[in-house]
């Protein structure tokens, strides 16, 4: 097992900065997920750990060793790609054994590791089949098996589930987690899918534009996003953002926009300050909306239901608030119908505020 640490690591391709001054310590045995939109530098970060990309600046360590100039084969890592890259003419057994044969591991040891990997991944029945005789999910398990037999100090996975259909993705997700629990090996996993990140990560590193935005356990990112980007990226459906303006005086300061009104939450009072007329961006998660009630500690929205998507126990309401689109996830018991006026509420404890210029969370600014 091993730690992986990025110390001010930058990767440039000519003029393009793919990864910008990344500092991050991945703990021994943890499941670290890199998540962010396409092009944000996830694959480049992973390929630098693997040794498949040169590092432009900074230091990368695996364990205590600086690996900037260590060849991929000497790094004690194994990588699983989105495309399974199996050898089509070889059986599953030979696909699993191939990397070990190249490394001149002895025959008895190879057989033992192949059997073990096959048993962990439930591939025993398929050892004599060729890849084309397997389903997509089984092929992806063979690709995982090929990494497992190497017994690496660190597993690297780059969007390994994106070629699977939705049902298999959920199954394989659980299999990879089970694998991690069983092997307790450090895993670094790349995905653009925030649900995968939230369900799999011990910690999640959110990237945007080559820059690390925030790193932490899933719930910390969900409850305390450091900026608007993380707030909007983590959570599904995405957080609603509304520009609001401070109004009123110190004791009873409110945040207002057309159709939206809320008292300044106590915990953010100092960060908001006492001046009227300051613009802030307020964030409201769809799942935090309720309807009506007389609670003073709520943000209130004068909304009209526009489109209602029935999901079973819940309904996704696309509501119009003075020309703005607001998405709310409500219990189906409210039986909201299109065209209906709704008194939407969000508890103040759940409201996030961001500075519109820096996009930083006021909560984070207040704490620092």
Ligand X SMILES: Nc1ncnc2c1ncn2[C@@H]1O[C@H](COP(=O)(O)OP(=O)(O)O)[C@@H](O)[C@H]1O
Which residue, 41 or 265, has its beta carbon nearer to ligand X?
41
Which residue, 43 or 361, has its beta carbon nearer to ligand X?
43
The rounded distance, in Å, linking the Cα atoms of 242 and 325 is 10
The rounded distance, in Å, linking the Cα atoms of 71 and 360 is 40
Which residue, 58 or 137, has its beta carbon nearer to ligand X?
58
Query: Which entry of Mg ion, ligand X, none binds 39, CB below 5 to 8 A by partner kind?
Result: ligand X
The rounded distance, in Å, linking the Cα atoms of 40 and 264 is 34
40 interacts with ligand X by CB under 6 A:
yes
Q: Which residues have C-beta within 8 Å of that of residue 283, sequence separation ≥ 6?
A: 225, 228, 231, 232, 239, 240, 241, 351, 352, 353, 354
For residue 256, list its beta bridge partners.
245, 261
Which residue, 41 or 160, has its beta carbon nearer to ligand X?
41
The rounded distance, in Å, linking the Cα atoms of 234 and 295 is 28
The first and second tokens of residue 319, run together, are 């509501």
Which listed residue (2, 9, 26, 41) binds ligand X by CB under 6 A?
41
118 interacts with ligand X by CB under 6 A:
no
- Which range binds ligand X by CB under 6 A, 10-18, 164-172, 197-205, 266-274? 10-18
Query: Which entry of ligand X, Mg ion, none binds 18, CB below 5 to 8 A by partner kind?
Result: ligand X
Which listed residue (2, 18, 67, 143) binds ligand X by CB under 6 A?
18
Distance of closest approach, residue 58 Cβ to ligand X, in angstroms: 16
42 interacts with ligand X by CB under 6 A:
yes
Helix and strand totals (H; E) in the chain: 10, 20
The rounded distance, in Å, linking the Cα atoms of 19 and 8 is 10
> Closest CB to Mg ion belongs to which residue?
43
In the shown chain, the binding pattern of residues 31 to 50 toward Mg ion, with x for contact by CB under 5 A and - for none, equals ------------x-------
The first and second tokens of residue 215, run together, are 């790193």
Which listed residue (9, 22, 24, 44) binds ligand X by CB under 6 A?
44
Query: Which entry of ligand X, Mg ion, none binds 352, CB below 5 to 8 A by partner kind?
Result: none
Distances (CA, A) of 207 to 269, 310, 358: 30, 33, 16
Which residue, 44 or 185, has its beta carbon nearer to ligand X?
44
Instruction: At 111, give phi and psi (nearest 5°).
Output: -55, -45
Which residue, 43 or 214, has its beta carbon nearer to Mg ion?
43
The rounded distance, in Å, linking the Cα atoms of 302 and 320 is 9
Across the beta sheet with 186-191, the strand order is 77-80, 154-158, 186-191, 31-35, 203-208, 211-216
Which residue, 39 or 99, has its beta carbon nearer to ligand X?
39
Distance of closest approach, residue 42 Cβ to Mg ion, in angstroms: 5
360 contacts 340 by C-beta, under 8 angstroms: no
Residue numbers at the binding site for ligand X (CB under 6 A): 13, 16, 18, 36, 38-44
Residue numbers at the binding site for Mg ion (CB under 5 A): 43
């Amino acid at each position: 097992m091993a730690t992986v640490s990025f110390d001010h690591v930058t990767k440039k391709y000519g003029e393009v900065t793919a990864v910008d001054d990344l500092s991050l310590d991945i703990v021994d045995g943890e499941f670290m997920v890199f998540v962010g939109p396409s092009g944000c530098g996830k694959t480049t970060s992973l390929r630098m750990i693997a040794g498949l990309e040169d590092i432009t600046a900074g230091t990368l360590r695996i364990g205590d060793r600086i690996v900037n100039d260590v060849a991929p084969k000497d790094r004690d890592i194994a990588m699983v790609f989105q495309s399974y890259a199996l050898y089509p003419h070889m059986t599953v057994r030979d696909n699993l054994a191939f990397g070990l044969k190249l490394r001149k591991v002895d025959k008895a040891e190879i057989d033992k590791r192949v059997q073990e990997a096959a048993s962990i991944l439930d591939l025993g029945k398929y050892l004599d089949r060729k890849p084309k005789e397997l389903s997509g999910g089984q092929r992806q398990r063979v690709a995982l098996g090929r990494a497992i037999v190497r017994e690496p100090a660190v597993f690297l996975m780059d969007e390994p589930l994106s070629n699977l259909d939705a049902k298999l993705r959920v199954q394989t997700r659980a299999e990879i987690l089970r694998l991690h629990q069983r092997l307790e090996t450090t895993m670094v996993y790349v995905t653009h899918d925030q649900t995968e990140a939230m369900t799999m990560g011990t910690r999640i590193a959110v990237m945007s534009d080559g820059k690390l935005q925030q790193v932490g356990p899933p719930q910390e990112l969900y409850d305390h996003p450091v900026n608007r980007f993380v707030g909007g990226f983590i959570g599904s459906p995405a957080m609603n953002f509304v520009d609001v303006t401070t109004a009123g005086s110190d004791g009873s300061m409110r945040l207002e926009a057309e159709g939206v009104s809320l008292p300044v939450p106590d915990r953010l009072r100092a960060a908001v300050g006492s001046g009227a007329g300051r613009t802030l961006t307020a964030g409201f998660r769809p799942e935090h909306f309720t309807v009506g009630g007389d609670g003073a500690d709520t943000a209130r929205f004068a909304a009209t239901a526009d489109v209602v998507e029935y999901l079973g126990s819940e309904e996704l309401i696309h509501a119009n608030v003075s020309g703005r689109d607001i998405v709310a996830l409500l219990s189906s018991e409210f039986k909201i119908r299109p065209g209906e006026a709704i008194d939407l509420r969000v508890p103040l404890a759940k409201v996030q505020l961001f500075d519109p210029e820096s996009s930083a969370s006021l909560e984070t600014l207040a704490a620092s």
